[in-house]
Amino acid sequence: EVLLVESGGGLVQPGRSLRLSCAASGFTFDDYAMHWVRQAPGKGLEWVSGISWNSIIIDYADSVKGRFTISRDNAKNSLYLQMNSLRADDTALYYCAKLIAVSGYWYFDLWGRGTLVTVSS
C-alpha cells in the first residue's frame, strides 16, 4: 500500500524544538521530491518546505526560514522536519506530501494524515 505516515508532533513550549518524521512506503521514495504542508486549526493549507530527491534543492516558506530544517534519508524512506524556536503561530497539523511532475505540471499526489504540533506554554 502506498502510504505516508507522519509522527513526532505534540505539545511544546514556545522557543523549544521538535522533530517531525514521515515514513514512506509502497513507492520508490528516492524518485520523488517531498514536502511539508501545514494547516493551522480551522485555517487553510500553507506550504512549509520542500526537498528534492537527492537533497540538493531545498526551499522554505519565509515564515519558517532560519528556524526549520528539512532533510531526508533515502535509505530509511524517511523525511524529516527539524523545527527550532517554535512560536504559537507554528501550531498546526503538519502534513507530509509527495510531489509529482507530469507533463511539466507539479502537484501533490499523496498526502499523509498529518501530525499535530501545538506550541503553547
Q: What is the 3-state secondary structure (H, E, C) of 45-71?
A: EEEEEEECCCCCCEEECCCCCCCEEEE
Give the contact letters, 67-86, x = binds to another protein (CB under 8 A), - = no: --------------------
Q: Does 9 bind another protein (CB under 8 A)?
A: no
Question: Hey, is 1 helix, strand or coil?
Answer: coil
Residue from 8, 23, 30, 47 in contact with another protein (CB under 8 A): 47
* Of residues 5, 31, 33, the one with CA closest to residue 20: 5
Count the Cβ atoms, other than its own, within 10 Å of residue 37.
21
Q: Which of 13, 41, 44, 121 binds another protein (CB under 8 A)?
A: 44
2/14 with CB nearer another protein: 2
Q: Which residue from 27, 111, 116, 118 is in contact with another protein, where contact means CB under 8 A? A: 111
- In this complex, which beta carbon is closest to another protein, that of residue 4 or of residue 16? 4
Residue nearer to another protein on the CB measure, 17 or 31: 31
Q: CA-CA-CA-CA torsion for 9, 51, 79, 31, nearest 10 degrees?
A: 150
